[in-house]
Structure 1
Amino acid sequence: MRCVVHILNLVVQDGIKKVDKLVEIIRWAVKWIRQSPSRISKFTKFAKLVNPSTTKHLVRDVPTRWNSTYRMLNIAQAYEKTFERYNLKEYEFRSDIEKAGLSIPSPSDWQHIRHLCHFLKPFCDVPERISGTLYLTSNTCIEDIYSILTLLDDVISDASLCDIALAMRVKFDKYFDDVEKINLLLYFSLILDPRNKVKYLVILLEDRYRKEKMEEKKKYIMDSMYKLYNDYIRIHSPSTTSSTTVSSNSSSILGKRQNPDATTPKPPLRNKLRENMKTNIVESIGELEKYLKESVEEDSSTFNILDWWKVNSKRFPNLSLMAKDLFGIPVSTVASESVFSTSRRVLDPYRSSLTPKIVESIICTQDWLRGGISDNIDF
């Protein structure tokens, strides 16, 4: 399973390259202001005069993480008037930015940045949602991928964002252009959500491929799902266990009698085992068909998909095992990777004098605060 968040990061990075000049100006200005407390204090003073309603602090970005670039641009654009005042009043700032061959964005540039932030917001919301760890993500991932595709198609017609959207679409198509390129387990998870089933799958496929190719794509997905489910039947079906037990017991008894002609069960017994297995498989396939034919559940804020499968596991014993495995698939590695990148966010080039003990204390305290630690812990 590829990390969907990582792929979306690559997609947006290709689009951001089309506005490198504007991003570089904002990045330079934010970095310059945040380099000393006195500069931050002066910027805050100007902000209270011309942007009194804005209280967010300027943030630097990590160029390899586009969502941090989005946050940097989104906060900076709210301080358009403050940057203009700062540029007029602070000679050192104006001198350094000219030496760097840059200039403060014009009003049209700020408008373009605002338009860009509005377009990029879903690319920040989706990764944040699918990288969560306290709820299911595999059953909604396909819907998120298709929503991003629809957004790109709509923006391509926008003259101001056309180049950005086209560059992003090329990268997007590399990973998500067709059903065959997407991990089919994500489609299976979508179907095993009782609020969706095949009905919602058809809606997504029709919107993406139109009616001409929809049936072909649907058949490919459903055939693959039945194949996977047949494996669950083979592994978890009671008949498989009973036949294996009977065969081993028969072989053991015959071995004790040392009968060389009776290495397999007698034909009547073998036929009976085959009939039992065939009956069980038919019942199991009927279990999947029964689930698909039932009406979809109403979507509401109180609906809990895990509780639904827990309650209905007796009706769908094999299908519930398959659902349990599919819903447990993480579609993002952000949660695990963030564990190993926490220290880098604390110990950056501007705080490099911190000792290892202080860094450890900061990270540990941050973890306690986020975990809601109680007040009665002894330090």
Structure 2
Amino acid sequence: MLKVTEKYERAFESYLRDDHNFFLDLTAGDGVPTFDDWDIVRRVIKVLEPFYHLTLKVSGSLHVTSHSLFEVLTDVHCLFYGWQDCGDLEIISMTSKMREKYNKYWGEGNKINMLVYLAVIFDPRCKMSFLDFGVNLLFPNVANDIMRMIDKELHCLLNEYSSNAGRIQLFEGRSSSLTNLYSSMEIDQSEMKTGLAKQKYLKKKKQIGLESKFELDRYLGEDEEVNNSSSFDLLLWWKMNSLRFLILAQMA
């Protein structure tokens, strides 16, 4: 609204010069806009405009936004630091009040919803490296603790999805497993103590667990995507790479 209004500064001046009623109407309120008022408008626009664009970034309804929230938090943090040293006392005062409200919701890194962090990892342009950078930027004193907490939660989530995938694969492969089981004439007697079916179940479960861990290491070990255009489709990327990362794609 302020940006649109600024374009009509001369129109306000013309009304003030040519229309006495305009002057009387505004004088009854807060008065006629002065040169200082327009100067303040231009300065405030520089502060509010970045917030407008950041708000659009995380409030979309036709594209994925969960991975953008952490980046927006880091951007706001950087904006605050820039304004603190701008030399404009009014902007510095405004920034102080804004930071106070920001810290109320986002000031404690260990209390932020864990999905805010995990969503960054599943953005192939960011992964763990940008997350680590951002956490150290926002919470330098407790960054290591937060990263350990994130790593723990990531692997817990991985184990949960691996278990689900394991149950599905075990169920789907029951016929072939039973065929192989009954066709084998040589049975290890030590396996009989645990149970043949259970032995095969545990072996399959262990194999799936190792595959999922290797899948995560492989994903994090690959270079980040360099496509930072606004047209990048995160869900499409995971769809195209779902055969390479079966479990991670489900998690994403």
Q: TM-score range by the shorter chain?
A: 0.7 to 0.9
TM-score by length of 1: 0.56
TM-score by length of 2: 0.81
Say whether the 8 Å CA contact 1:239–1:277 is kept in structure 2. Answer: no
Looking at structure 2, the residues matched to 125 and 165 of structure 1 have their Cα atoms a distance apart, in angstroms, of: 18
For 1:1-379, what aligned pairs fall within 5 Å after superposition? 71=1, 73-100=2-29, 102-158=30-86, 159-210=89-140, 212-238=141-167, 241-242=170-171, 267-269=194-196, 270-301=198-229, 303-323=232-252
Unpaired stretches in structure 2, ≥5 consecutive residues:
179-191
Query: Residue 218 of structure 1: SS of its match in structure 2?
Result: helix
Unpaired stretches in structure 1, ≥5 consecutive residues:
1-70, 250-264, 324-379
Matched residue count? 233
Kindly tell me: are residues 303 and 84 of structure 1, through their superposed partners in 2, closer, same or farther at Cα, counting changes over 3 Å? closer
Say whether the 8 Å CA contact 2:57–2:68 is kept in structure 1. Answer: no
Looking at structure 1, the residues matched to 50 and 232 of structure 2 have their Cα atoms a distance apart, in angstroms, of: 24
Q: Deviations over 1:221-271 (max 9, x none)?
A: 12112112221112222467439x79xx9xxxxxxxxxxxxxxx9722334
Q: Measure how far apart 1:206 and its partner are.
A: 2.5
Looking at structure 1, the residues matched to 45 and 232 of structure 2 have their Cα atoms a distance apart, in angstroms, of: 33
Looking at structure 1, the residues matched to 105 and 83 of structure 2 have their Cα atoms a distance apart, in angstroms, of: 19
Q: Say which is worse superposed, 313-322 or 156-165, in terms of deviation.
A: 156-165
Say whether the 8 Å CA contact 2:125–2:228 is kept in structure 1. Answer: no
Q: CA RMSD in A?
A: 2.6
Higher relative contact order (CA 8 A, sep 6+): 1
Looking at structure 1, the residues matched to 105 and 210 of structure 2 have their Cα atoms a distance apart, in angstroms, of: 37
Identity of aligned residues (%): 29
Q: Measure how far apart 1:315 and its partner are.
A: 1.9
Q: Deviations over 1:139-180 (max 9, x none)?
A: 222111210121122213342212211111111111111323
Say whether the 8 Å CA contact 2:136–2:143 is kept in structure 1. Answer: yes
Q: Measure how far apart 1:95 and its partner are.
A: 1.7
Looking at structure 2, the residues matched to 108 and 98 of structure 1 have their Cα atoms a distance apart, in angstroms, of: 16
Say whether the 8 Å CA contact 2:162–2:212 is kept in structure 1. Answer: yes
Q: Deviations over 1:100-150 (max 9, x none)?
A: 3x2112212211111001110011111122222333222222111210121
Q: Deviations over 1:14-39 (max 9, x none)?
A: xxxxxxxxxxxxxxxxxxxxxxxxxx
Looking at structure 2, the residues matched to 129 and 273 of structure 1 have their Cα atoms a distance apart, in angstroms, of: 46
